[in-house]
Homo-oligomer: A and B are copies of this chain.
Amino acid sequence: MDLAHSAADEAFRAEARAWLRAHVPVDPLPSLETEEGFAAHRAWEAELAVDRWSVVNWPAAYGGRDATLVRWLLFEEEYYAAGAPGRVNQNGVSLLAPTLFDHGTEEQRARVLPPMATGEVVWAQAWSEPEAGSDLASLRSRATRVAGGWLLSGQKTWSSRAAFADRAFGLFRSDPGAPKPHQGLTYLMFDLRASGVTVRPIARLDGRPAIAELFLDEVFVPDEDVIGEPGQGWRIAMSTAGNERGLMLRSPGRFLASADRLHRLWQDRGSPESARNSVADALIGARAYQLFTFAAASRFLDGESIGPESSLNKVFWSEYDIALHETALDLLGAEGELADTEWAERYVFSLAGPIYAGTNEIQRDIIAERLLGLPKGRR
């Protein structure tokens, strides 16, 4: 048992730190949820990519550095500690790319990944539909077979980043006659600017268009944009969903940086005693999450897979994140209600945590049933 990083890993960390110190913009970029801010964040991705810092854990062939999971964690610590911008292509990098590595073809990887790494193509996810929230098996959007490809029709919603993104990926019902609802689904990528696609941005609580609704009317998708076998989409998506809930959706570096920011805010406000325990708990929670992740990464390096344990992770970080930002707003007192502050924007972002990527209610059911062995309820 050992928490010390190897000299080579520390050298990697130092290189990242130095690069970030030299490159991170002094003034924060405009909000990711505006057209201007989106473009600025896309340019930042390109800047990262020039020195191969945008996707450190990918193979060098696609723009990465073949970084191990540990190095990715160290990079993330440095990235957030440096106050670097939010990642506009997180959907692509953390959800689609792992799927392509596991289930895509070499041709797909070569075509899709490099422009993802540079931010040239920014991806939106298209999982949910109006009537299918936690119950993903009830998807109704269709993919109909035509010569050389498929026609997509239907409606997707809560598509994050879709307001300004280029392409999207999701599941479509290709075999409505399949015996069970989660059979007969196909995993496809499609162009958000293709004929037949209507993107309707949806403002989140603070009015920023962080999400969108997609209306698809016979949108043609060539066969080359099907991932894996048609009809196998559910299985493929579940492996992505496992990843989504797993290690890479929220890196500890993000929360270590948030906790430090909160601690500074507390000190700037005169270290009020009434917030003392909440601030201490934020610091402790960030450390707990960091170490929990190191343990999971160590198991992963030992060849173990990360299964329902990822539900523990999801509940923890999402509720931690809200508690931290509630403490911050409380420290701000009456100014806490101002919407145009970084704290407010982060608070609103945190509120989505317990809802998406599998609601925390679903996650607690999974913990109870799969980790504790309690009987399946009727839900």
In A269-304, the 8 Å CB interface with B consists of 273-274, 276-277
Please, which residue of chain B has its CB at the minimum distance from the CB of A272? B273
- Residues on B with C-beta less than 8 A from A274 are 273, 276-277
By DSSP majority rule, is chain A's interface helix, strand, loop, or mixed? helix
- Residues on B with C-beta less than 8 A from A273 are 273-274, 276
Q: Complex Cα distance A274/B276, Å?
A: 7
The complex is assembled from copies of this chain, and their number is 2
Residue A378 at the B interface, CB < 8 A?
A: yes
- Residues on B with C-beta less than 8 A from A378 are 378
Q: Complex Cα distance A274/B274, Å?
A: 6
Q: Complex Cα distance A169/B329, Å?
A: 55
How many A residues, CB 8 Å from partner? Answer: 5
Q: Complex Cα distance A180/B277, Å?
A: 53
Q: In the complex, how many angstroms separate the beta carbon of A333 from the nearest chain B beta carbon? A: 15
Please, which residue of chain B has its CB at the minimum distance from the CB of A280? B274
Q: Complex Cα distance A273/B274, Å?
A: 6
Please, which residue of chain B has its CB at the minimum distance from the CB of A276? B274
Q: In the complex, how many angstroms separate the beta carbon of A269 from the nearest chain B beta carbon? A: 14
Please, which residue of chain B has its CB at the minimum distance from the CB of A377? B378
Q: Complex Cα distance A277/B378, Å?
A: 40
A-B contact pairs, 6 of them (CB 8 A): A273-B273, A273-B274, A273-B276, A274-B276, A274-B277, A378-B378
Q: Complex Cα distance A378/B276, Å?
A: 43
Q: In the complex, how many angstroms separate the beta carbon of A267 from the nearest chain B beta carbon? A: 16
In A221-261, the 8 Å CB interface with B consists of none
Q: Complex Cα distance A378/B273, Å?
A: 46
- Residues on B with C-beta less than 8 A from A276 are 273-274
Q: In the complex, how many angstroms separate the beta carbon of A355 from the nearest chain B beta carbon? A: 21
Q: Complex Cα distance A378/B378, Å?
A: 9
Q: Complex Cα distance A254/B225, Å?
A: 70
